[in-house]
Structure 1
Amino acid sequence: MIHYFLSLSLLLLGTTNAMSQSKPETPAVVKPVELQLKGYNSRDIDLFASAFSDTVKVYRQPGVLTYQGRDELHKRYGAMFASTPDLHCEIVNRIVAGDVVIDQEKVQRKKGEPRTDAIAVYRVKDGLIVEVTFIPPHNQ
């Protein structure tokens, strides 16, 4: 009987360890945010823009619309990608709640210069980013 409980305990312990080591599936809401990050870091404007809806709204701060539309996003980021070969974004922290993804980022624009802090709030609908708000720290 003791052998049975010992075997059962070891089996359950192994199952628990295997379950805790498996990587959870990425929520669907995160997928377009990851796609745009991949495009951003590779400076691939078409890949980057494909993560956004045609009517995406881009805000610089909550409630302050900077521009709207994928075409405008494509134009602005295309120019930035062309002029910043060292551009790279690292996600420091991520919060996912419903249809919202909030990323705390460190952005490198030029090698040798300090990275800047950024906060991006993405709202996702039907697999595309429909709204993004950038919240710059007050010291930048």
Structure 2
Amino acid sequence: MNESKLSDVEFPVQKQLEAYNARDVEAFMQWWADDCEYYEFPSRLLASGANEIRERHVARFSEANLSGKLITRMSVGNMVVDQEVVTRTFPDGPGEIDVIAIYEVENGKIAKAWFKMGSPRLHTAGTR
């Protein structure tokens, strides 16, 4: 993605996605506010604060096939909405899942995020 075309509100969202794909927890966490909140859409709190979000992602980043492919992004005010396809290893094996991610950005950092997940699609033998 061309960073020069990103708005101030989109920039931290793009940078954390790049760090997610690099499985670099230090780079990932620099885009999250210390008191950030991480939700399963619409309101189930999964992690509160940077330390809990870090813990969630240390385990996730150990998945060798982890990647998020941005399909589309839109922003209004301080909110960014990404449609992604995430590849990862599920308990039943490798596959992908559709994700809608909603980010609230304040002072250049992600303050809150909500994630709506689709159903996992497992890869069959010989794919990816």
Q: What TM-score bracket applies, with the shorter chain setting the length?
A: 0.7 to 0.9
Question: Alpha-carbon deviations, 1:16-53, whole Å to 9, x = none?
Answer: xxxxxxx9731000111011101100000000011100
Between the aligned partners of 2:33 and 2:101, the Cα distance in structure 1 is 17
For normalisation by structure 2, the TM-score amounts to: 0.83
**Among the aligned pairs, what percent are the same residue?**
32
Query: Structure 2 stretches of 5 or more lacking a match?
Result: 121-128
Alignment size in residue pairs: 115
More strand by share: 2
Q: Which residue of 2 aligns with 1:53?
A: 33
For normalisation by structure 1, the TM-score amounts to: 0.76
Tell me, yes or no, if the aligned pair for 2:97 and 2:117 is still in contact at 8 Å: no
Give the aligned CA root-mean-square deviation in angstroms. Answer: 1.8
Select which of 113, 124, 138 maps to 2:105. 124
More helix by share: 1
Q: Which residue of 1 aligns with 2:78?
A: 99
Tell me, yes or no, if the aligned pair for 2:20 and 2:67 is still in contact at 8 Å: yes
Select which of 112, 115, 123 maps to 1:134. 115
Select which of 32, 44, 47 maps to 2:24. 44
Is 1:87 aligned to residue 63 of structure 2?
no
Moved segments of 4+, more than 3 Å: none
Q: Which residue of 2 aligns with 1:31?
A: 11
